[in-house]
Structure 1
């Protein structure tokens, strides 16, 4: 029998429970020096760190060595508490819903335990109708120390190999929250995503799985719906799906229903750079005879996607094909944008992702040691045309396959797969980051001594769940991975990670590799100058001063920076020049690699740089630092991933020009090839006709009579097809590159200053480090090489007034010449 419920109460009532929270330290080593009060006002969603910061009780963990000073937070048990008023209504069910608890929590309502949770990566729903009382209700969430819990679980499950001391593999919590080689250890606790009370009757949509695909007549959305009923009621239910002006209905049989709706007037969704990103609202409602019980709406895009892994004569490709078109992937790896992820809102996601688009990127890989990002992230990727590759959250460690982790991992995957699969930007789900590789090469087989390590998840659980819940989404067991069963990091097959160049070799050895797809590689560099001096207060500030070492997490990071610089530049004597040298070398290393990889398309069909962003101020592989500032590496990405690129590459015994055309139009004309002295005098030249088809590339062998230098230290080859490529015959430190001779003209413009720089000499990698003038200033032009007599214009955006002359000072205007000329 169905209750007689007023029409206004037919649909669920959702009430956020975000106000009135307080935070207390329940037990653990809270130092007396911090003088914590009995209770602190708490923000929900939030975390302990943000609450203590807001109350002025702790210093900024990102400054100096405050990370060590605040490590005690992760050893403390913390309790959140609030109360809320409740008045009974005619609804049958009242559910307490947590979208995210970080991490090990006991939830009590009116003193009664209603939930025990131990997974940051999933949501929880509890029927609390029997415990609610009219009037005031108390809600308490007690968190256990994540460090103590992980250590205890490691003892229960058995130690597993991992790269860092604490057993992050024993707890379902962001691995990098325990620290990484670019990340601060914060050990957060808190109600990190929304919490609410949902009241409903008869039935609700427990899950709706949307799959959109183009058809010959337009587009089709298939929707599979799981229903939850309030009790054992058998009220007849119908689902109605709508898309554009079309709608169809189907009866609910048992607790499930499936429905498909089609629309004729829809267009294809394309990755950025390949077309537009039209999105359409598709909805499904659950209805009984007396009205709509529940409704879910999603934005969908219509495209096809596959990864071509059909073996060929040279191995196994890994080529993304969208709407039938092979796509050269211009990618970056993404880590949590803040080590306190609750601080990342939609506006911040949008700033970062727009910076990615501005750097000519088309894919973001969400790395397995972080988090499943919020809906805002994926919605923005849909809107911007940024493809997403999502790792399941496993990274660089052996993971136990026993309980309680086994069930938790399945539960989180069952929630996350349908949530992510609706997004047209999602083109790949991947089982893990580097765990298949680790099992083969990192000594795990010996140290595991027969213990489980995660193979069940990657090879059985996840592919089966993807096939069940989102069969339209491609899946790969890991990154790196070889589809044919070869070594997971085999160069001729599938995806590859390249770290020997940074760790042991030098970046010119990237040319020794011809992978099919590069999913990780990178080079370190310090953050922007204003970010560095804001976060490190060392006096004097040196590359090895205490705060600099705290903000350098990589093993022997500074040693590798030095060894990576000296083959190319001399070591500067002053700190600001050291900072510029390391930033420039980072940019040069990655640009060198990207131009090489791109030159081998279609053999190599993608490169995913480690990494786009940072989570705090640190020396790292990021192109955008922890204060959201662009590093020279960002300019290198923008240049190397431009729609049309010319590079000079060694081929056989000689040199070749490679023209890459990532546009819908043919690119044709005359290729100018000139060998010049550094002072601009022409030594040899030739013009070569060329034509590059849309989305194609052409390799043009260059005449040795033009390309062979007579004085390698003082000559440059310039190849120009409207876009230019340069070939320098000697490393900068071994060349005759003279001090840069520059003149400037500045013009105020709306929102900033236009700086025109004219060169009287050959100038390499001209950049303006404008944040030294105003921390909010930036320019999207950088790493410009000018021949004698040429000029370049930089648009400097800065909200505050500044003297134009400041943007042309020697501290701000930097070149590669600065690191060569004696």
Structure 2
């Protein structure tokens, strides 16, 4: 049984290094004072948050305030709390009790009742301290954190890495230098039962339409051998249920459900009191270990998001002595099979990059994530839930947990299990630019082994976990990924094989002969890159001709919205700029300036406050355009290419411009919805190799349908229009679409307009009366500033209908009908909430509307309950349904605020 200590009254105080150990001056005998007084502390949490709450630092995420916070990491920090020996009905003084720190960050000394009981170094290995016989009537717990270890940020030498500290917060291209210190996971007292199960491992599989649940572990007891022989284990498998959130259920109810996606009949929310399906008595081996395979007839299978539902079976393991139950624990698992296949037309020596779930090849529609905040201990369950909900809404089925960040909290993996998000888990290693070779020093390997073993043992029971990787962009030499022959990687592989043995292990990401995407043929296995727009036509030539087998990291940069920029940029910085032209912009994303790119495509953008909206819209349009082509080019080659994982979904602090789809505040960029369209179950696309054509130039391109379901008869319509909406060409295509792959439906043959300007190609896909997909491309017959006419401003968007409906748990559903009543097409037509205390996810957003066109969109409004510096935006009341104002934005301007 665990008793949480996290909710006690904790305090923290800062000191110069070593002072807490000395306590009194050697010369004067006086007590040595700290650099701060005792202040209230939140556990789990981080010192920076506590200092901000107490007024000792300003918000590090505003302007360049983080530079003024770097003193924090150069101090030692003492936490203290106290508790009684009597906890409820438990007398801790007579129990066998362990003090357990589930996540310390990073190096610490632990004192209990003024006695040093242990030290710790690391982030992922639980620290257990035996308090048996040491607990008194009143008890004092003190933990001293020794500042931060010396470690590298993005630029340095991987071969010289010496810690298992998360490296992103030492400075990365998407983060600042703000290094967390403190308890980033719970602190508990573990009351040891008479007998309990350790090393519990629950594996599932499917064979010949039968579900398999295999349960193994070891019963540990303080009893003598004769008494221990009377113990037994019972495994109870309960009825499967739906543990997905109401937010996810809303999304799935409002999206177009495909007839061939798998539904678990009668699946309901998990009810723990339901009668069990199976109860198995398990005999123990002489050492207390057990291993029991259990067959489940007519299993309800677990599927990735978009392929079916996620029924989870409660599996309860209990230790008994006769009829007396001594211990019990429950895990929720899904029955599914994972296998790994080689790609079609694979390259020589390639690893298997095709992921097969329940016998079906699954094209990976993935995203990479960074940690949600620099101060990750304060991140709330609600923040994780929103991130997973956003993945489900975008059609994402896999998340890569990047090696420069964290091995995340358990709640993240639980949510992935519950909502069908496959997990690619990396160990805590990353490239460093100057050299990228994994460290092979003995002391580091010992630390790596301890942390990696702890991670595998903790995460292996998660249904969604599908892939382990040795780390991010590890290389033997430039552009040459490391292999399992490396001592470091061989160690990690042996840990995975020993303590899991059921998942694929990749030596690193990327893996194969070449690290980065290239035009060279036959050498691109799993590749990374690139992360910026390559230019017109270079962008389309590079990605359109690539023969990579898997694309596990790539992205496009775009600015944050004006709404978000205004929260962290001082007023004088609220205007378009090069990164080198403004220190605040540079501090918040210096690698990702898009001003010159956007000016080249759209024409000069004056560096005035009035043009900030225009600049952000142009930037986000290009992020969407570039990213869409990269995804479509890979998906059109399924399963020669077996998946894409976009860099990146989120960011740990507010960037003025970056490669993320959702910003720090939870606001979605235009690219988020472009990804949602590109990842839809049936997606229609057109091949092209450039954005501009000569007037009257003949255009011949393939129309391709990418299909994640069963085969069907497709009916496609191709429309070519100019900016006024005038139709200049229209034709239809029909054909049979192959199941679970991509099919060329036919050729689109037409001419660019004779007059210079923009033209648009819309492709629509139907199967009988079922509408499946629509995709509009923007082209130009101009030679320079080819997208400039989008700025024209003759499009006028009006809200024709707005309705807000209250749902459960403080959620709201907002329905809008937008219509273009102007004379020209309007690009990037989207809405955002004026208020900050709700997240907004919709069926669509940021669309192109032609004159006279209207679109109906529905949105889910989710109350914000965030931690760290975001808590100022948290929902305080629901205003009785008032003040649900929205702002409609288009590329050329911002329209008037519209009421509820």
Per-residue deviation, residues 253-312 of structure 1 (Å, max 9, x unmatched): 225322223332521111111111110011222334583333221111111112212673
C-alpha displacement at 1:96, in angstroms? 1.3
Per-residue deviation, residues 332-389 of structure 1 (Å, max 9, x unmatched): 1011111111222222111111111111211111111111111211111111111111
Residues 184, 454 of structure 1: CA spacing in aligned structure 2 closer, same or farther, 3 A cutoff?
farther
Distance 1:17 1:796 in 2: 36
Asked if 1 retains the 8 angstrom alpha-carbon contact of 2:159 and 2:439, the reply is: no
Asked if 1 retains the 8 angstrom alpha-carbon contact of 2:44 and 2:183, the reply is: yes
Residue 790 in structure 1 maps to residue 853 in structure 2: yes
Distance 1:549 1:99 in 2: 37
Q: 3-state DSSP class of the match of 2:105?
A: coil
Match of 1:734 in 2: 786
Distance 2:4 2:660 in 1: 40
Distance 2:725 2:551 in 1: 37
Per-residue deviation, residues 624-646 of structure 1 (Å, max 9, x unmatched): 10011111111111121122221
Asked if 2 retains the 8 angstrom alpha-carbon contact of 1:150 and 1:168, the reply is: no
Q: 3-state DSSP class of the match of 2:309?
A: coil
Distance 1:371 1:14 in 2: 25
2:419 aligned residue (384, 397, 403): 384
Instruction: Write out aligned runs for 1:225-374 (5 A).
Output: 225-230=217-222, 235-236=228-229, 237-244=231-238, 245-246=277-278, 247-288=280-321, 291-309=324-342, 312=345, 316=350, 318-374=353-409
1:26 aligned residue (10, 15, 21): 15
User: Which consecutive segments of 4 or more residues in structure 1 shift more than 6 A?
Assistant: 165-168, 442-445, 796-806
Per-residue deviation, residues 509-564 of structure 1 (Å, max 9, x unmatched): 43242321111111122222222111112325233564533543344x32xx2343
Q: 3-state DSSP class of the match of 1:611?
A: coil
Instruction: Write out aligned runs for 1:655-674 (5 A).
Output: 655-664=701-710, 666-674=711-719
Residues 301, 133 of structure 1: CA spacing in aligned structure 2 closer, same or farther, 3 A cutoff?
closer
Instruction: Write out aligned runs for 1:549-568 (5 A).
Output: 549-555=585-591, 557-558=592-593, 561-568=594-601
Asked if 2 retains the 8 angstrom alpha-carbon contact of 1:204 and 1:228, the reply is: yes
Match of 2:190 in 1: 198
Per-residue deviation, residues 95-134 of structure 1 (Å, max 9, x unmatched): 111111111001122222222111012212122224x143
Instruction: Write out aligned runs for 1:113-128 (5 A).
Output: 113-128=116-131
Residues 762, 720 of structure 1: CA spacing in aligned structure 2 closer, same or farther, 3 A cutoff?
farther
Asked if 2 retains the 8 angstrom alpha-carbon contact of 1:210 and 1:222, the reply is: yes
C-alpha displacement at 1:817, in angstroms? 13
Match of 2:247 in 1: none
Distance 2:43 2:395 in 1: 36
Residues 82, 816 of structure 1: CA spacing in aligned structure 2 closer, same or farther, 3 A cutoff?
closer
Distance 1:217 1:636 in 2: 38
Asked if 1 retains the 8 angstrom alpha-carbon contact of 2:686 and 2:702, the reply is: yes
Match of 2:649 in 1: 612
Q: 3-state DSSP class of the match of 2:644?
A: strand
C-alpha displacement at 1:86, in angstroms? 1.6
Match of 2:800 in 1: 746
Distance 1:239 1:796 in 2: 48
Q: 3-state DSSP class of the match of 2:602?
A: coil
Residues 770, 90 of structure 1: CA spacing in aligned structure 2 closer, same or farther, 3 A cutoff?
closer
C-alpha displacement at 1:649, in angstroms? 0.3
1:494 aligned residue (518, 525, 529): 525
Instruction: Write out aligned runs for 1:645-794 (5 A).
Output: 645-650=683-688, 654-664=700-710, 666-702=711-747, 704=749, 706-707=750-751, 710-711=754-755, 713-722=757-766, 723-730=773-780, 733-734=785-786, 738-751=792-805, 752=814, 754-763=816-825, 765-771=827-833, 776=838, 778=840, 780=842, 781-794=844-857
Distance 1:611 1:324 in 2: 29
C-alpha displacement at 1:90, in angstroms? 8.6
Residue 471 in structure 1 maps to residue 501 in structure 2: yes
Distance 1:92 1:807 in 2: 60
2:109 aligned residue (81, 97, 106): 106
Distance 2:799 2:516 in 1: 51
Asked if 2 retains the 8 angstrom alpha-carbon contact of 1:421 and 1:473, the reply is: no
Distance 2:354 2:301 in 1: 20
Match of 1:578 in 2: 615
Distance 1:96 1:650 in 2: 62
Q: 3-state DSSP class of the match of 1:577?
A: helix
Residues 47, 168 of structure 1: CA spacing in aligned structure 2 closer, same or farther, 3 A cutoff?
farther
Question: What are structure 2's unaligned runs of at least 5 residues?
Answer: 20-32, 239-276, 691-698, 767-772, 806-813, 862-877, 896-900
C-alpha displacement at 1:66, in angstroms? 1.1
Distance 1:531 1:332 in 2: 22
Q: Which moved more, 1:537-546 or 1:798-807?
A: 798-807
Residues 18, 400 of structure 1: CA spacing in aligned structure 2 closer, same or farther, 3 A cutoff?
farther
Distance 1:330 1:816 in 2: 33
Match of 1:814 in 2: 891
Asked if 2 retains the 8 angstrom alpha-carbon contact of 1:76 and 1:144, the reply is: yes
C-alpha displacement at 1:175, in angstroms? 1.0
C-alpha displacement at 1:670, in angstroms? 3.0
Q: 3-state DSSP class of the match of 1:767?
A: strand
Asked if 2 retains the 8 angstrom alpha-carbon contact of 1:107 and 1:116, the reply is: yes
Distance 2:343 2:480 in 1: 31
C-alpha displacement at 1:682, in angstroms? 4.0
Q: 3-state DSSP class of the match of 2:571?
A: coil
Residues 291, 564 of structure 1: CA spacing in aligned structure 2 closer, same or farther, 3 A cutoff?
farther
Per-residue deviation, residues 774-819 of structure 1 (Å, max 9, x unmatched): 77574633232234432223446777788999745xxx3335999x
Asked if 1 retains the 8 angstrom alpha-carbon contact of 2:471 and 2:507, the reply is: yes
Distance 1:461 1:579 in 2: 46
Q: 3-state DSSP class of the match of 2:706?
A: strand
Residues 789, 406 of structure 1: CA spacing in aligned structure 2 closer, same or farther, 3 A cutoff?
same
Match of 1:601 in 2: 638
Distance 1:444 1:603 in 2: 21
Q: 3-state DSSP class of the match of 1:630?
A: coil
Distance 1:551 1:219 in 2: 53
Asked if 1 retains the 8 angstrom alpha-carbon contact of 2:828 and 2:890, the reply is: yes
Could you state the TM-score of these two structures normalised by the residue count of structure 2?
A: 0.79
Asked if 2 retains the 8 angstrom alpha-carbon contact of 1:321 and 1:327, the reply is: yes
